Amino acid sequence: MRLKRFLIAALVALMTLGFSVSAFAQDADPAMGGDADAEMQNVSGPFDLERCVKRALALNPSMVAIRAQLQGSQFGTRSQFGNFLPSLGGTYGYTNSGRKSTTTGKKDEWAASINVSQPVFQGFNLLATWQKAKLTEESTQASLSNVELTLISSVQSNFLSLLKARKDVKSGDDSVARLESQLKVITAFYEVGLRPKAEVLDAEVDLATAKQDLLKAQNQVSIQETQLNRLLNIPLEVEVEYVGELAHVPFDLTLQDCLSRAYNARPDLLIGKKSVEIAEKDSTIAASSFYPKVDADYDYYSKGVDPGLSNGNSYTHSSKEYWTVGVKASMTVFEWGADYYDYKKAEENIKQVEAELEDTRLQAGFEVKQALLNIKEASDRITVAQKSVAAAEEAYRMAVARYQAQVGTNTDVLNAQSRLTDSEAQLSQALADHGTAISSLYVAMGEKNLGLTEAK
């Protein structure tokens, strides 16, 4: 009965101080579960750029890792909040004194106690530590956005590289077809004695070179598809239907617009700001050693002559069961400057992270302007390349016509065909560079444009 009363007293003391275990019994954020599993298996149908990015954001392992880190920081915040609330402890033990007690007349004594301790003032340490945990959680949330932007950039860059590789394959196919046609014409002229064998050999060499370039382009397509499968967490052996075309997407935002959006949205700038605030909390924690620490305690004691804490009429009421309530303050007065210099170190750390934040801001501005300049350069190259392709096509047509009319040379035809292939490659490269530059600019602004649609 005494043991039962002891446990009841412990529970009453716990409830009296307002401690509620249920306050911490919040469920963890639900995992993606069945929806994620279904998406993992669903690789049917066409994958355009936007669908690729969405799948990567949902299933790429780097996203799974950063979400776990964020969940951990949320638990850390809850853990630090628990330090504000009272703690409960207890003891239960047995002592054999080797001789009979003058009080109980027995050698054996059983004792139990409970302690409820409530921190009252810890030199702002508890508050600053909890606030630091909250800031760490917010910083991790910004890190999640940063990882998302990096992943979006990787997917978009590889998708555009795939589209360029496909353009190169088409250009290679066209080049091989033109050279095969020219080889047939030269061979026919040679067989009737109108052209020397050397021209046939030149055409065969150029055709073989074009076929090798085509094989390289086809291999590059396979590599880019495999890389996209990896980013999208799709088994590498699975054939996926990636669809899309290189296009010249208009972009007319000014530098000032882009900078303003970057300074407001970039997650690394938010991380930098949180780092400054965290450093300030570290300074507060270091300064807490200059203040006294105050705790309130409630203690309940019970003794008995058996494991059930019964007294057998051996104890007086005041000695067998009693409680105490008290408040205590403690403070370390002197530690040879250890606390002071620890505080000064924290103050200097604030200056360091503030300088790092300013450097991050400057880097953000540079990245925005660099991406804008790359967009303009690629856009100008597209205009020039389009004219170059049109001119090269006409030059090739005229060279073939002149050769067939016996007023041109085979060298003119091969040179014209080579220039046409080069012009087509320059156009596809300019289009891919333009899309990549736009993707880089949105990342530099801290914004997510999944499908690289026109700027708003």
Q: What would the pLDDT profile of 57-67 be if each residue is shown by its tens digit?
A: 999 998 888 88
Q: For residue 319, what pLDDT band results from cuts at 50, 70 and 90?
A: low
Residue 220's closest CA among 432, 447, 409? 432
- Flag the least confident range among 84-98, 234-248, 257-271, 343-357: 84-98
- Flag the least confident range among 194-198, 233-237, 302-306, 315-319: 315-319
8 Å CB contact between 350 and 283: yes
Delimit the domains of the chain by residue range: 122-292+339-456
pLDDT at 336 (0 to 100): 78
Residue 382's closest CA among 187, 248, 221? 248
Q: Taking the CA of residue 20 as centre, how many other CA atoms within 13 Å lie in the half-sphere pointing to its CB?
A: 5
Tens-place pLDDT, residues 171-183:
999 999 999 999 9
Per-residue b/e over 287-303, b at no fewer than 16 CB within 10 Å? bbbeeebbbeebbbbbb
8 Å CB contact between 389 and 425: no
Q: What is the mean pLDDT of residues 92-100?
A: 80
pLDDT at 24 (0 to 100): 35
Provide the terminal-to-terminal Cα distance of the chain, rounded to the nearest Å.
Answer: 76
**Which element (helix H / strand E) includes 114?**
strand 108-121
Q: What is the mean pLDDT of residues 34-42?
A: 57
CA distance 146 to 265: 11
pLDDT at 177 (0 to 100): 94
122-292+339-456 in CATH: which number?
A: 1.20.1600.10
Q: For residue 20, what pLDDT band results from cuts at 50, 70 and 90?
A: very low
Tens-place pLDDT, residues 213-234:
999 999 999 999 999 999 999 9
Does 26 have pLDDT greater than 50?
no
Pairing of β 241-242 and β 46-47: parallel
pLDDT at 105 (0 to 100): 59
Q: For residue 5, what pLDDT band results from cuts at 50, 70 and 90?
A: low
What DSSP designation does 23 have? G
Residues 6+ positions from 291 with CB-CB distance below 8 Å: 121, 123, 124, 331
Does 19 have pLDDT greater than 60?
no
Does 312 have pLDDT greater than 80?
no
Does 145 have pLDDT greater than 70?
yes
Q: For residue 122, what pLDDT band results from cuts at 50, 70 and 90?
A: confident
pLDDT at 133 (0 to 100): 87
pLDDT at 278 (0 to 100): 93
Q: For residue 18, what pLDDT band results from cuts at 50, 70 and 90?
A: very low
pLDDT at 15 (0 to 100): 46
CA distance 416 to 399: 7
CA distances from 192 to 195, 198, 401 (A): 8, 15, 19
Does 38 have pLDDT greater than 50?
yes
pLDDT at 96 (0 to 100): 81
Does 113 have pLDDT greater than 70?
yes
Residues 6+ positions from 136 with CB-CB distance below 8 Å: 73, 76, 77, 274, 278
Q: What is the mean pLDDT of residues 332-343?
A: 84
The tokens describing 418, both together, are: 């080579």
More confident residue, 358 or 120: 358
Residue 157's closest CA among 445, 362, 439? 439
pLDDT at 52 (0 to 100): 94
Does 47 have pLDDT greater than 60?
yes
**Global pTM?**
0.78
- Flag the least confident range among 1-15, 105-119, 146-160: 1-15
8 Å CB contact between 352 and 432: no
Residue 115's closest CA among 10, 243, 1, 245? 10
Does 164 have pLDDT greater than 90?
yes
Task: Count Cβ atoms within 10 A of the Cβ of residue 98 and give its class: 0-12 exposed, 13-18 middle, 19 or more buried.
Answer: exposed
8 Å CB contact between 451 and 244: no
Residue 162's closest CA among 231, 209, 208, 212? 231
Q: What is the mean pLDDT of residues 161-190?
A: 93
What DSSP designation does 236 have? T
Q: What is the mean pLDDT of residues 33-56?
A: 77
Tens-place pLDDT, residues 356-409:
999 999 999 999 999 999 999 999 999 999 999 999 999 999 999 999 888 888
